[in-house]
Amino acid sequence: MVLKKASALGGTIIAVVLVVVFVPPVLLNETAEFREIFMKKCKGYPMDQTTCKNALNAFEKAFVGKNEKDVTEEDYEGLFKEVPFKHPCGITMFWTGTNELVHEFTKTRDHFFTLEDTLLGHVLNELKWCGKKNSQGIFIKECSEDKPNPVFSFWKLASAKMAQYACKIVTVMLDGEREKPYYDKR
């Protein structure tokens, strides 16, 4: 009888050890993959490596360890203090529904600057990320599309910060063929 209990207990311990050993590599792979993409894109922007590391640390503080729905725009405030806009404020261009067109247009004209031309916009453009409560990892594959979420909250604050930063002449590119060419609900 004692031998059966010891065997059962030993099997349980092995199963727990296997779960602990097996789950973290998946988490570490996604976290490492996201950090690698972030740093590669950041280094591709005219910025020093220290700025990139500080930006990544401030970025992670906004959402890592939190439920996706609990991440708000306010959580990214520290990131924008760490990485403020530095382009001339009078050449700001906003857009909605014209992503490809506006970036083709601004690529050939250096007198317009979109959010995606800023350091954070450049690095985070087209990326998806989230955290999970009580986890220190970055997830990229199983993030909710429901709003609010970390990606939506980031872009909402980034757009508001860019609008506050803009000065003098501000340009907007809209799609005139759309029934509602801009999103009118904040």
What contacts 128, CB < 8 A, 6 or more positions away? Answer: 140, 143, 151
> How far apart are the two ends of the chain, measured CA to CA in Å?
67
Q: Given 42, 89, 130, 143, which residue is catalytic?
A: 89
Alpha helices per DSSP H over 127-184:
150-165
Establish whether 52 is a catalytic residue: no
Establish whether 167 is a catalytic residue: yes
- Cα Rg of the chain (Å, integer): 22
Q: Tell me, letter by letter, the H, E, C secondary structure of 51-74.
A: HHHHHHHHHHHHHCCCCHHHCCHH
13 domain-assigned: no
16 domain-assigned: no
70 domain-assigned: yes
Between β-strands 93-96 and 171-174, what pairing exists: parallel, antiparallel or unpaired? parallel
6 domain-assigned: no
Top-confidence residue, 148 or 47: 148
Domain at 159, CATH number: 1.20.82.10
Task: Name the range with the highest mean pLDDT among 8-17, 18-27, 97-106, 120-129.
Answer: 120-129
105 domain-assigned: yes
CA distance linking residue 13 with residue 20, whole number of Å:
11
Residue 65 pLDDT > 80, yes or no?
yes
| Burial environment of residue 4 by CB neighbours within 10 A (0 to 12, 13 to 18, 19 or more) | exposed
For the segment 105-124, the average pLDDT, to the nearest whole number, is 90
* Percent of the chain predicted with pLDDT > 90: 67
Number of domains in the chain: 1
59 domain-assigned: yes
Domain range for 124 is 31-174
101 domain-assigned: yes
Render pLDDT for 140-152 as a digit per residue (tens, 0 to 9): 999 999 999 999 9
12 domain-assigned: no
**Number of neighbours of residue 127 by Cβ within 10 angstroms:** 13
For the segment 18-41, the average pLDDT, to the nearest whole number, is 73
Q: Given 42, 130, 143, 167, which residue is catalytic?
A: 167
